[in-house]
A and B are shown apart, each in its own frame.
Chain A
Amino acid sequence: MKKVAVFLIPLVLFMLLAVFLFSGLFSDPRQRDSSVVGKPAPAFELPDLMQPEITYTQDIFKGEVTLLNVWGVWCVTCAVELPYLTDLSQQGVKIVGLYYDQDTDPDFGIKSIPAIQQEVVAKLSKLGNPYSFNVFDVKRDYSLDLGVTGAPETFVIDKNGVIRMHHIGDINPRVWEGKVGPLYSELIAQ
């Protein structure tokens, strides 16, 4: 009895450790619960990227299911997802862009807005324009409020302006069919 225990206990401990570490190999450290999901979109007051005289607030999310897509022309993966997002928008999905610029350092001068607009127009005319409009996150404050870690990231926001999903990474057919799409249709049906 005792001999069996002496043999079995370390074996069981080792197996547990091996299973734990092995499962760790396949876990994605970027996958973690977003703290904004389930809450109303944070308040903001930001200009339109193309027409800075227009100001948007969180009310833009009211009444319609919206995908808020965080992107920038400097972001390679964003360029990859633009054509697919354009497809989606042509199927009737409302996509709003949250644009932020990497070279715009709030402390040390700002890249001129016409220069940014030019880059954006060039990019969108080449790869497709899925956006109803783009909110310009001038100082990246709104991204911070949303818990954005980089680009691209997409938020699914329901008709009441409540954030229902925070997806980190690009949206492609696999992600749309397996993750974002089902929630979107569910929210549309409500």
Chain B
Amino acid sequence: MKSLQVFVFTLILAFAASSFAAEESYQFDDPAQQALFLELTQELRCPMCQNQNIADSDAMIAHDLRRKVYELLNQGYSRSEVVEYMKTRYGDFVSYQPPVTPLTVWLWVLPVLFVLMAAFWVFIQRKKQSQEFDEEALAKAESILEKDK
């Protein structure tokens, strides 16, 4: 019984996925261009519905941007030229790939800095601990030795 339920559910899921894919399709003659189209529509962000890429979104602006990407690729635009085209109109916001600027460079620098500082701190703690431990143990050992005499 349970396995039947799982089977039916899987079937529904499979159909849902295929209907989504068939809703709107832009065909290219060149498979490399098709792949580039998919990649670009996933990297470009919908300006209206802010947390979706244009491949995902059903807003009219996303439809328009997809159509534009298709047109531009057919006109022979390269990947970076398409992204540039969108950025001159919608700003850096439109790409999920942030550019490196004095403001955004912290996105890369901060995690590395954090790891380095943490490693440094652990290193210092270890060193201190081992020193403290040594002295204490030494004192203890000596006192025991004293008693045994």
Contacts and interface: CB of A to CB of B under 8 A. Distances in A.
B48 A144 contact: no
Contacts of A145: 89
Nearest to A102: B60
Contacts of A146: 89
B89 A149 contact: no
A149 B90 CA distance: 9
Interface residues of A, number: 20
Contacts of B50: 29-30
A88 interface: no
A73 interface: no
B64 interface: yes
Nearest to B61: A149
Given A147-B90, A149-B48, A106 B61 contact: no
Interface string B95-128: 0000000000000000000000000000000000
B121 to A, nearest CB: 12
A17 to B, nearest CB: 13
Contacts, number: 38
Given A32-B93, A146-B89, 16 more contacts: A29-B50, A30-B50, A32-B91, A34-B91, A35-B88, A35-B91, A144-B65, A144-B68, A145-B89, A147-B47, A147-B89, A147-B90, A147-B91, A148-B61, A150-B60, A150-B61
B140 interface: no
Nearest to A29: B50
Q: Pick the most buried of A35, A105, A107, A150: most chain B CB atoms within 10 A of its CB.
A: A35
A124 interface: no
B30 to A, nearest CB: 20
A30 B63 CA distance: 19
Nearest to B51: A29
Nearest to B91: A35
A123 interface: no
A149 B47 contact: yes
Considering the complex of A and B, which 9 residue pairs feature the smallest CB-CB distances, nearest first? A149-B47, A35-B91, A147-B89, A149-B48, A147-B90, A140-B64, A150-B48, A29-B50, A149-B61
Interface string A11-37: 000000000000000000110111110
A147 to B, nearest CB: 5
A35 B89 contact: yes
Contacts of A102: 60
A105 B66 CA distance: 13
B67 A35 contact: no
Interface in B77-96: 87-91, 93
20 contacts: A29-B50, A32-B93, A33-B91, A34-B91, A35-B89, A35-B91, A36-B89, A105-B63, A140-B60, A140-B64, A144-B68, A146-B89, A147-B89, A147-B91, A148-B61, A149-B47, A149-B48, A149-B61, A150-B59, A150-B60
